[in-house]
Amino acid sequence: MVERRVRIAEIGGSNPPGSTMTSKQLGSLGEKIAANYLKKKDYQILDRNYSDKFLFGPQRGEVDLIAKKNRTISFIEVKTLTQNEREQFSPFSPEMKVNFQKQKKIIKTAENWLRERKIPLNIKWQIDIISIKINLNSKKAKIRHFKNV
């Protein structure tokens, strides 16, 4: 796991201190922060918000970011939470939201993405989680990257 702190302004976040965001806005901001973080770590972003409809049933799978580094494709789930100064030491972490069911969906979706692009399933690929805690008061984000979960 790699941890890094960034200022929200570095990636184009603009909510004023203490303001609230919808979950969609928060997710979008988290994905921007994660993409920026990955680019700085020499990842090439291949796709964003890829979703598919599974052959059986109405379930849809989605992968937030798909990136490549050193011949390895990473299918990345980004989980973002806000916190204020009082919540700074909360034991709950965003990555805890990626349960077994979600992991299975990500794997199926990753395999579908590879098949659609005619990339052999035996290439090196992995599932990563990027966990982000955003403090809207200080406009800082804490990023944790869990590789090959």
pLDDT (tens digit per residue) in 97-106: 888 888 889 9
Please count the structural domains in the chain.
1
pLDDT over threshold 90, residue 92: no
Query: Which 3 state secondary structure label does DSSP give 129?
Result: strand
Most confident of 49-53, 80-84, 115-119: 115-119
Identify the domain containing residue 89 by its residue range.
Answer: 2-146
User: Looking at residue 113, which CATH number applies to its domain?
Assistant: 3.40.1350.10
Assign 136 a pLDDT band (cuts: 50, 70, 90).
confident
Assign 135 a pLDDT band (cuts: 50, 70, 90).
confident
Sheet containing strand 44-53, strands side by side = 2-7, 140-146, 125-135, 72-83, 60-69, 44-53
**What does the CA dihedral 102, 108, 111, 117 come to, rounded to 10 degrees?**
-100
Q: Where are the alpha helices (DSSP H) in the chain?
A: 23-40, 100-116
Determine the pLDDT at residue 70. 95
Window from 7-16, 29-38, 84-93 with minimum mean pLDDT: 7-16
Assign 88 a pLDDT band (cuts: 50, 70, 90).
low
How does strand 2-7 pair with strand 44-53? unpaired
pLDDT by residue (tens digit) across 43-70? 999 999 999 865 565 567 899 999 999 9
Assign 37 a pLDDT band (cuts: 50, 70, 90).
very high
Assign 85 a pLDDT band (cuts: 50, 70, 90).
low
Whether the pTM exceeds 0.85: the reply is no
